[in-house]
Structure 1
Amino acid sequence: MKKTLLFLALITIAFGSTTAQDRIAIGLKAGFNSTKIKLNDVPDGVQIKNEANSGFLIGAYGKLRLTEAFSIQPELYYAKKTSNISAIPENELPETTDYTFHTWDVPILANLQLIDLKAVKIYGVAGPVASFIADTKTDIPEWNEFKNTNWTFQAGGGIEFWRLTADVRYEWGLSDISDLASANIGQKTDVLTFSLGFKLIGL
């Protein structure tokens, strides 16, 4: 009786593991980004020049398949984002400020398979991102005040081949990242991201 129960338990575990691997995937990802800070409220008489600078990201992703073509894709990655802003007051010399952000980003994405070519799959992704600031640096210390958490929205697409993925996404800032009590200039981040992923297990 005990041997039968043990055998049934092993079959159940094996079946459950197979089913889980058919629906769940876990992998690693890395890439680079280009970040631009946009100001929504610019003082009168001041011209603003925003320049996007490059950074990087590294982390992991998961994937839970709900149907043949639709999955939920949570991710966690560490990112370095850099940008600079040049303010040009009327009849004055320009002032340039460099920004550097180190963040932990948590996208929760909907992944929709658009085309299945057997060897290659083409997909689209979209969803919100919670970004938690780990460290910041600016050229003007009194401006180095940012909210600990901000929200963005990502959308993009990519291809999947064997265990590899490659995608490009654009990220729109939804909330003001600045926590300056003395100024309300509406700083939001826009980020272009290119990344490669490697699936470790599942699907």
Structure 2
Amino acid sequence: MKKILLVFAIIAWVSTTSAQDRIALGLKAGFNSTNINLSNIPSGTEIKNEAKSGFLFGAYGRLKLIGKLSFQPELYYAKKQTQYQITEGGESVVVNSDIKSWDVPLLANLQLIDLKVASVYGVAGPVASFISKDDLKSMKDANWTFQAGIGAQVWKISADVRYEWGMKDISKLDFGQKTDVLTFTIGYRLFGI
């Protein structure tokens, strides 16, 4: 019985050790600039959109797949802000929009350059975005976008820049709205690769 327990303990230890060579977990935070692309604006109405800064914070994971390719799921809370100037019948109104969401990027991470002390990587993939608060109540509850970007990692610190394209109309209104978001983040790897 002791031999069987010893064998199971060795297998569990080897599995844990090899998993740490393939898995990473970390925290991230940053800021974003959100622009809403508008379409199908009713005639006689002019709407201009101005990007504003917001923030994000959350966590990421990384699972090494093959070679220099990894799967990188993330979960973060984001505040996205934008401003509309609506002109109709010669009168203008400025409206600020404040959107808070939980974003879930499902990214492929490809290491492009490995210098041992530092590395450069590219990321790309879809993002599911779930609206938790919309001041104007004009957005659908969920949204799909696509992110692509580049970053660098030194020791446990990473920094990246990404651009996010709206893939789906997010508006409940008669005119179309798609998000475009520029994101800058800093990450800290807690453990793993």
Give the TM-score taking structure 1 as reference length: 0.91
Deviation at 1:76, TM superposition (A): 0.4
Q: Aligned residue for 1:145?
A: 138
Q: Which residue of 2 aligns with 1:141?
A: none
**Partner of residue 116 from structure 1, selected from 114, 117, 123:** 114
2:2 is the counterpart of 1:7: no
Corresponding residue for residue 193 of structure 1: 183
The residue type equivalent to 1:188 in the other structure is: K
Q: What's the counterpart of residue 80 of structure 2?
A: 81
User: Partner of 2:167 in structure 1?
Assistant: 174
Equivalent positions of 1:31-70 (< 5 A) are 31-70=30-69
Per-residue deviation, 1:93 = 2.5
Alignment of 1:119-138 (within 5 A): 119-138=117-136
- Cα distance in 1 for partners of 2:117, 2:192 equals 17
The C-alpha deviation readout for 1:117-175, integer Å capped at 9, x for no partner, is 1111000000000000111103xxxxx23211010000001001111110000001111
C-alpha contact (below 8 Å) 1:33/1:56 kept by paired residues: yes
Residue 154 of structure 1 pairs with residue 152 of structure 2? no
TM-score normalised to structure 2 length? 0.96
TM-superposed deviation, 1:25: 0.6
Secondary structure of residue in 2 paired with 1:62 = strand
Contact 1:37 1:85 in 2 (8 A): no
2:97 is aligned to 99
Q: What SS does the corresponding residue of 1:66 show, helix, strand or coil?
A: strand
Bigger proportion of residues as strand: 2
Deviation at 1:48, TM superposition (A): 2.9
Q: Could you report, residue by residue, the CA deviation over 1:70-92 in whole angstroms, capped at 9, with x for unpaired residues?
A: 001000000111101112336x1
Give the deviation of 1:196 after TM superposition.
Answer: 0.7
Aligned-partner SS, 1:147: coil
Query: Within 2, Cα distance between the matches of 1:194 and 1:145?
Result: 26
Q: CA deviation at 1:44?
A: 2.8
SS of match in other structure, 1:16: helix
Provide the aligned C-alpha RMSD in A. 1.2
Letter of the aligned partner of 1:199 in structure 2? R
The alignment partner of 2:66 has SS state of coil
2: CA distance, partners of 1:187 / 1:95:
18
3-state secondary structure, aligned to 2:91: coil
Alpha-carbon separation, structure 2, partners of 1:48 and 1:178 = 14
1:202 deviates by: 1.1
